[in-house]
């Protein structure tokens, strides 16, 4: 479904979140080391990270526990995690510091604008989007992130054979995602078993809540051709 001309694509939903003292201290003390400021200049990955590994962006990391665990597992890849919400940013900054992760940085801004302004075309090896807001009411479906304009944007940023991995526990959203991708000539589906979780992605707290409610979790991976 096309995005309304009056409504810009956004990667986040405004929500309230209480900032704990620990999270606030993380933002205050650790931002200079691990936070990349939003700007119009493109990201210089080789200047930011020590290794020259794969370049992966995660959009919407929540509290960041899964993000930190993936970075700790895939040590030869470099990650930039993007979200706008201070509690999650503060929590992930503390996780990076505690685990001494050298391959993970954060940008606290709208991911769509980051992709447009800060990411060079054909530079990314992968994009991860785990449990984006499903906007499950039909009248709100138009607010979903995964729509045709967004696919066109990320197709410019991914390298050939780069992939996008989306996890969701809403069947309607999963089917919508698959249909949108299948209509796009720039992608081909990589996995046929959507209910087999890739080993590098740990289960999230949100995911466990969904499973306890009887939701199936879909892991959908498409490759840029």
Residue 148 lies inside a defined structural domain of this protein: yes
Residue 40 lies inside a defined structural domain of this protein: no
Distance CA 93, CA 83 (A): 12
Residue 17 lies inside a defined structural domain of this protein: no
Interaxial angle between packed helices 148-157 and 111-118, expressed in degrees from 0 to 180 and rounded to the nearest 10: 40
The tens digit of pLDDT for each residue in 117-164 reads: 999 999 999 999 999 988 566 665 677 899 999 999 999 999 999 999
Distance CA 218, CA 221 (A): 10
Q: Which domain holds residue 165?
A: 46-224
Q: What is the dihedral of CA 115, 164, 132, 116, to 10 degrees?
A: 10
The tens digit of pLDDT for each residue in 67-115 reads: 999 999 999 999 999 999 999 999 999 999 999 999 999 999 999 999 9
**Confidence grade of residue 215 (pLDDT, cut at 50, 70, 90):** confident
Name the residue among 155, 150, 148, 149 with its Cα closest to residue 122: 155
Residue 157 lies inside a defined structural domain of this protein: yes
Distance CA 111, CA 134 (A): 17
Query: Is the CB of residue 71 less than 8 Å from the CB of residue 44?
Result: no
Interaxial angle between packed helices 86-99 and 21-34, expressed in degrees from 0 to 180 and rounded to the nearest 10: 70
Domain count, the chain: 1
Residue 153 lies inside a defined structural domain of this protein: yes
Pairing of strands 187-189, 104-108: unpaired
Q: What is the pLDDT of residue 214?
A: 75
**H-helix or E-strand containing 206?**
helix 205-212
Residue 121 lies inside a defined structural domain of this protein: yes
pLDDT exceeds 50 at position 2: no
Model-wide pTM > 0.95: no
Residue 88 lies inside a defined structural domain of this protein: yes
Query: Is the CB of residue 197 less than 8 Å from the CB of residue 137?
Result: no
CATH assignment at residue 158: 3.40.50.150
Residue 200 lies inside a defined structural domain of this protein: yes
Residue 133 known to be catalytic: yes
Query: Which entry of 110, 133, 169, 219 is annotated as an active-site residue?
Result: 133
User: Three-state SS for 8?
Assistant: coil
Query: Is the CB of residue 188 less than 8 Å from the CB of residue 225?
Result: yes
How many angstroms separate the Cα of 216 from the Cα of each of 25, 179, 204?
Answer: 37, 18, 14
């Amino acid at each position: 479904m096309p995005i309304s001309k009056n409504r810009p694509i956004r990667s986040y939903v405004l929500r309230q979140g209480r900032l704990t003292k620990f999270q606030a201290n993380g933002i205050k003390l650790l931002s200079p080391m691990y936070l990349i400021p939003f700007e119009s200049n493109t990201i210089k990955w080789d200047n930011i990270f020590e290794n020259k590994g794969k370049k992966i962006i995660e959009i919407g990391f929540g509290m960041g526990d899964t993000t930190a665990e993936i970075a700790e597992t895939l040590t030869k890849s470099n990650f930039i995690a993007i979200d706008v919400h201070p509690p999650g940013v503060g929590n992930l900054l503390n996780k990076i510091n505690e685990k001494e992760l050298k391959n993970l940085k954060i940008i606290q801004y709208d991911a769509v604008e980051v992709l447009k302004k800060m990411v060079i075309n054909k530079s990314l090896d992968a994009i991860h989007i785990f449990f984006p807001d499903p906007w499950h009411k039909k009248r709100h479906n138009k607010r979903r992130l995964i729509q045709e304009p967004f696919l066109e944007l990320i197709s410019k940023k991914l390298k050939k054979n780069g992939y996008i991995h989306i996890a969701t526990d809403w069947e309607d959203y999963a089917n919508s995602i698959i249909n949108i991708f299948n209509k796009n000539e720039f992608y081909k589906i990589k996995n046929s078993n959507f209910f087999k979780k890739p080993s590098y992605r740990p289960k999230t707290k949100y995911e466990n809540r969904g499973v306890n409610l009887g939701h199936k979790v879909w892991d959908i991976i498409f490759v840029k051709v």
